[in-house]
Amino acid sequence: MVNVSCVQMQPRLGQFDKNLEKILTYIKDIMKERPDTDLIVFPELATTAYEGTKEEFQEVAETVPEGRSMKAVAALCKEYSVNVVYGFAERDPNFTDVLYNSALFINDKGVVLGQYRKVHPFDTEKLWCRAGCDYPVFETHFGKVGVQICWDTAFPEVSRIYALKGVDLLVVSTNWEKPYEEDWDLMTRARAFDNTLHLVAANRIGDDRTLGWFGRSKIIDPLGRVIEALDEEVEGVIHAKLDLSLTRKNRVEYYTFFKDRRPDTYGELVRRY
């Protein structure tokens, strides 16, 4: 069993310090209220907000693992023995002008396990960040976790790759915008069901310069059923206790997607459109 918490919050442009303080406060409050929490998930770009310019992101981007937010969050992860995933703007350690839209994974020992770099940047993101090219699996005491960011969820291949790598839980850190609530609801449920995996998805609320966000953060079971959701456009937290063994149970009963796969017939999937 794993106890997860999913944070729905409103980061603000140009307010890195306040955004970080809000993240730290959420961690403290969750752990005081629910000290048995194993994993806390925050939205995409939680430290910076979304609609920054290339110059603005250059000012606040952080290099793993030396970034200010990383040190502060890692200290709380160690203090409270909790794993945390949150979105941030990452600076490449070697090519310092290169940025990524990334999600950091810090474990319950306060160790930065690594980052996931968004493989499918969306629209104006391409003006400031470079696409990632890998799907890292993060090993925890409760199982293997795969992380994706926002528009990645629209590509079934991402979640399927994680499933084939043996993850026990899918995590989505997102800024899914208005007015695409129905798309968001459908895709998150589908990715869980497609792969018979629990899915935890943290979305933001509020407005930046031209865009707005609706929230609808959710925790979904391996059959695509919503366990908990925060459908209102408000800040808050949802929690759930997940039995990750349901994946193995379901896959050997009716939902034999992986047993019945025919990868020898799937060559068209990797052809350019």
* Amino acid of residue 11: P
C-alpha to C-alpha distance for 215 and 234, rounded to whole angstroms: 7
Residue 118 annotated in active site: yes
| pLDDT in the model for residue 131 | 98
C-alpha to C-alpha distance for 26 and 190, rounded to whole angstroms: 29
Residue 268 annotated in active site: no
Is a pLDDT exceeding 90 seen at residue 197? yes
Active-site choice (6, 22, 77, 118): 118
Query: Which band of pLDDT confidence, cut at 50, 70 and 90, is reported for residue 205?
Result: very high
Is a pLDDT exceeding 90 seen at residue 70? yes
Give the H/E segment covering residue 55. helix 54-60
| pLDDT in the model for residue 272 | 87
Please check whether residue 48 is in contact with residue 16, taking contact to mean a CB–CB distance below 8 angstroms.
Answer: yes
Question: Which class for 235: exposed (0-12), middle (13-18), buried (19 or more C-beta within 10 A)?
Answer: middle
CATH code, domain with 89: 3.60.110.10
Q: Quick one: average pLDDT of 126-143?
A: 97
Query: Which band of pLDDT confidence, cut at 50, 70 and 90, is reported for residue 273?
Result: confident
Taking the model in full, what pTM does it have?
0.96
How many domains is the chain partitioned into structurally?
1
Domain membership of residue 257 as a residue range = 2-270
Active-site choice (6, 77, 129, 150): 150
C-alpha to C-alpha distance for 19 and 23, rounded to whole angstroms: 6
Residue 181 annotated in active site: no
pLDDT tens digits for range 97-126: 999 999 999 999 999 999 999 999 999 999
Active-site choice (6, 22, 44, 177): 44
Q: Quick one: average pLDDT of 43-66?
A: 97
